[in-house]
Amino acid sequence: MAGRKRRATDFPNITRSEFAKILEKARNTRYIRCSYLAMRDASLIAFEFLFKTRVSEGVGRVFPEGRKDRQRSRFLDKYEGVRLDDFDIATVRGREVLRCRFRVLKRGCRKKICEKCGTKNDLTANFCKKCGSTLAKVKFDSRLKEYYVWDSVRLNDPFTYYIIEWLDFLRENSKDPNPRVWAITRQRAWQICKRLGIMNHTQRHWRATQLADAMDPFTLKETLHRATMPFEYVHRAESRRLEREEEADKIWA
């Protein structure tokens, strides 16, 4: 039986001071063998909040997710998540920012395409809705493309410290010159969030709600990396957006 779809009302909003307590709780998590993993957990939570990302956009994901679907799929999409070289420190009109390049998921529709008649069916379908044939192959709708963006957050934001701390640790200790920043699965990320008493998609909703108090709908839509018509033709300067984010943080301090 399919679970109930989450709604925006299922995510009660919190202030920045309350979110800071969640980050401290993650940072102080006790690991018996690898104490440095607490840095990883806190940095992931901070990343999802500051960059307004889905958990898969940080840690990566494989599609289709089901083992049976992967075995019989002809086309398989695999995204390994953010790597160390995807982060950079830059300056936007005299303001230092932490930049990150990541892939925006859920761009376009994913469909099961019938090999016999070419009809596009929902992912949950086992038989073609037109000819009734068994859907043995999984293909992508042609509108699903790899879409990467560069996003920036203020370097002096207190929450940025958790990300930079983990990046510095990887640079000093990783044998791989360009490792995955969060080399975990989506399921492990879900376990981390569950231990903290939050959901793995909550941080994105929290941040969007806070920014909505200071941003106009056009800027907010672009900030969440979902610029669709007519919003894809309306752009705001990055320096202006960073000022709006700072105003929102003062409101929710």
9-107+145-251, superfamily in CATH? Intergrase catalytic core (1.10.443.10)
Give the pLDDT confidence score for residue 3 in this predicted structure.
45
Give the pLDDT confidence score for residue 68 in this predicted structure.
56
Give per-residue burial for 224-233: e unless 16+ CB within 10 Å, then b: bbebeeeeee
Give the pLDDT confidence score for residue 210 in this predicted structure.
82
Is this model's pTM higher than 0.85 or not?
A: no
Give the pLDDT confidence score for residue 85 in this predicted structure.
96
Give the pLDDT confidence score for residue 82 in this predicted structure.
95
Q: Domain limits of the chain?
A: 9-107+145-251, 108-144
Which pairs with CB-CB distance under 8 Å and at least 24 residues apart come from 158-163? 158/20, 159/19, 159/20, 159/23, 159/46, 159/49, 159/50, 160/46, 160/50, 160/98, 162/23, 162/27, 162/39, 162/42, 162/43, 162/45, 162/46, 163/43, 163/46, 163/47, 163/50, 163/87, 163/98
Profile the chain (253 residues) by mean pLDDT over runs of 10 residues: 46 81 94 91 95 90 61 63 95 94 74 77 79 70 68 94 96 94 92 89 82 80 64 58 85 86
User: Could you read off the pLDDT of 53-86 as tens digits, one per residue?
Assistant: 888 899 988 765 655 555 555 556 678 899 999 9
User: Could you read off the pLDDT of 27-52 as tens digits, one per residue?
Assistant: 999 998 889 999 999 999 999 999 98
Distance set, CA 69 to CA 7, 193, 212, 231 (Å)? 28, 27, 39, 35
